[in-house]
Amino acid sequence: MKIGVAQINPTVGDLRGNFDKILDAYRRLAAAGAELVLAPELAVTGYPPQDLVYKSRFVPQTLEVIARLHESVAEVPLLVGYVDRNKGRGKPFYNAAALLERGQPIRKSFKTLLPTYDVFDEDRYFEPGTGGEVFTVAGRQIGVTICEDIWTERYLPRALYEGEIVRGLVERG
């Protein structure tokens, strides 16, 4: 599978500008032969959105951008990071990735390992996911991780989290 990586620099809070950056990169990478295009963690909102998520229109407008991107995808799927609402218990939002495919419903995966050290305060805003999702894309199984979900203690000076998300995804196919 040829994966196009949208190496963009989203601006925190600039939903319209980030939409344009994502769509431009998507179109260039699809035209270059990508079979799947990946945009960064929280590409729609910029990272980290911090207290912007609590502004009454910010998350609804973020979801509108996801809908517009979904309408804009062609043959090549797009996996893009954004903030989603948590309609259940816990924190009000998810750090999410949306798989956007033409003619298909939006599929979502939520970040599980939320950093709370140094300058990071993700568990203030986000409910953790349950270990990533496995999606079929172009006939292939892909496991979706967001940032630290792929980290393992084998590559870190000390363990930061319990469990390994990637191992769980592999076990699920």
Do residues 122 and 95 lie in contact, with contact meaning Cβ atoms separated by under 8 Å? yes
Q: Annotated active-site positions, please?
A: 41, 111, 147
Tokens of 120: 């990071």
Do residues 52 and 93 lie in contact, with contact meaning Cβ atoms separated by under 8 Å? no
CB-based contacts of 40, cutoff 8 Å, min separation 6:
6, 8, 10, 47, 81
How many residues belong to the chain?
173
Angle of helix 58-72 versus helix 15-31 axis, rounded to 10 = 20
